[in-house]
Amino acid sequence: MNALIAFVLLAFATASFAQMPPPEIAARQYILVDVTSNQVLAEREADAQADPASLTKLMTAYIVFNALRDKKLSLDQTLPVSLRAWSERKGGGSLMFIDTTMNPKVSELLRGMIVQSGNDASVALAEGVAGSVEAFVAMMNRQAQAWGLKNTEFKNVTGLTDAGHHSSARDVATIAAHIIADHPDFYPIYSIRQYTYNNIKQDNRNMLLGRDPTVDGMKTGYTDAAGYCLVGSAVRDIPGGKRRLVSVVMGTASKEARAAESQKLLNWGWQAWDAVRLFESGKAVATVPVWKGSLPEARLGAAGALFVTVPKGEGDKLKTTVERTDPLLAPLTAGQRVGSIKIATAGGNKIAEVPLVVLDAVPLAGVFGRLWDGVRLWIK
């Protein structure tokens, strides 16, 4: 996992600053997350349950990506098109336009699902991975539960309106962040602007891909119940790495509105906030004595490069506190947690807390070294 998303598996933390308010966003619910620092920069009704429409296909794709990673499926593998997949054309949703005479490759179906938002492709992939749509939906829900998504319940793989099928802006942002973090090899599919299958060319419905060069994903959705929805993902180079923002807007009034409101959020995130790298990956925050070890000291630091997001110009006003175990006793393994690194504003509002870990292993000393340190500790 690279430094850009090293802390994405933690729960998103809400930034605590006196900050210029975000622009007025015409959406029922929204959230803007700086994935680099794992901080929420703006939100409204982000935990309210709502119809996610085709944003559902983010989780559908995640489960397929897992199957590809685990070698249960291959990109060149062909899959049959069942009558159930073909019948999606009767539901009035987006289609890849496959039929029961075809045997598309998994790589083609992925593009049909992600770029063209094909409901038929989603069903064909689900059946290819799990044998049935119902079994695949159960996998989606188990994954949602494993991540602690409290406002998400899936009833289908497409996002068509279904009783009890719901998610939230925060949960959708979490799914998007996991795709970026866990499956970087597949994420570039979300940046493809057009895809042609069976001589039918369709544009990616994410208008931001053609408007903003920093946007490289991610997914649109629409149903009457959901309104127009969009997950936008954008990345820029910053000193020491890259910075990624993910915006989710749900319940906007039109295709143009979902693109415009997403763009407002992303622009505000870039303009009003800075990402500050506090620590480099592998660089010690502290070097401290070790007792009963073959080395006298241990290097301690963060597990990866640590970024925090602050209002423009506030980066030099942060306070960092290191809390650690004392005394530190060998043996110590690389990556072993021995405390915490806490970052707060000048006013004391906590921004982030990450584990303080041992950077280099420290084996046990010999018998005499351990005995000597035991005496010293007893005297101490």
* Top-level class of domain 3-275: alpha beta
Indicate the helix (H) or strand (E) that contains 235. Answer: strand 227-238
0.85 surpassed by pTM? yes
| Cα angle 154, 160, 162; round to 5 | 55
Q: Under CATH, which architecture does the 280-379 domain have?
A: Sandwich (2.60)
**For the chain, what are the domain ranges?**
3-275, 280-379
Both tokens of 54, joined, read 């085709």
Catalytic residue among 37, 57, 94, 292: 57
Catalytic residue among 117, 167, 247, 262: 117
Q: Identify whether 54 is a catalytic site residue.
A: yes
CB 251 within 8 A of CB 35: no
pLDDT in tens, the chain (380 residues): 333 333 333 356 665 554 568 899 999 999 999 999 889 999 999 999 999 999 999 999 999 999 999 999 999 999 999 999 999 999 889 999 999 999 999 999 999 999 999 999 999 999 999 999 999 999 999 999 999 999 999 999 999 999 999 999 999 999 999 999 999 999 999 999 999 999 999 999 999 999 999 999 999 999 999 999 999 999 999 887 899 999 999 999 999 999 999 999 999 999 999 888 888 778 888 898 887 778 888 999 988 878 888 888 877 788 888 898 888 888 999 999 999 998 887 777 777 788 999 999 988 866 554 555 454 555 55
How far apart (Å, rounded) are the C-alpha atoms in residues 320 and 344? 7
Catalytic residue among 54, 94, 122, 247: 54
CB 84 within 8 A of CB 52: no
Question: What pLDDT is attached to residue 2?
Answer: 37
Q: How many CA atoms lie within 13 A of 63 on its CB side?
A: 27
Residue 115 has what DSSP assignment?
T
Q: Identify whether 150 is a catalytic site residue.
A: no
How far apart (Å, rounded) are the C-alpha atoms in residues 73 and 76? 9
Q: Identify whether 340 is a catalytic site residue.
A: no
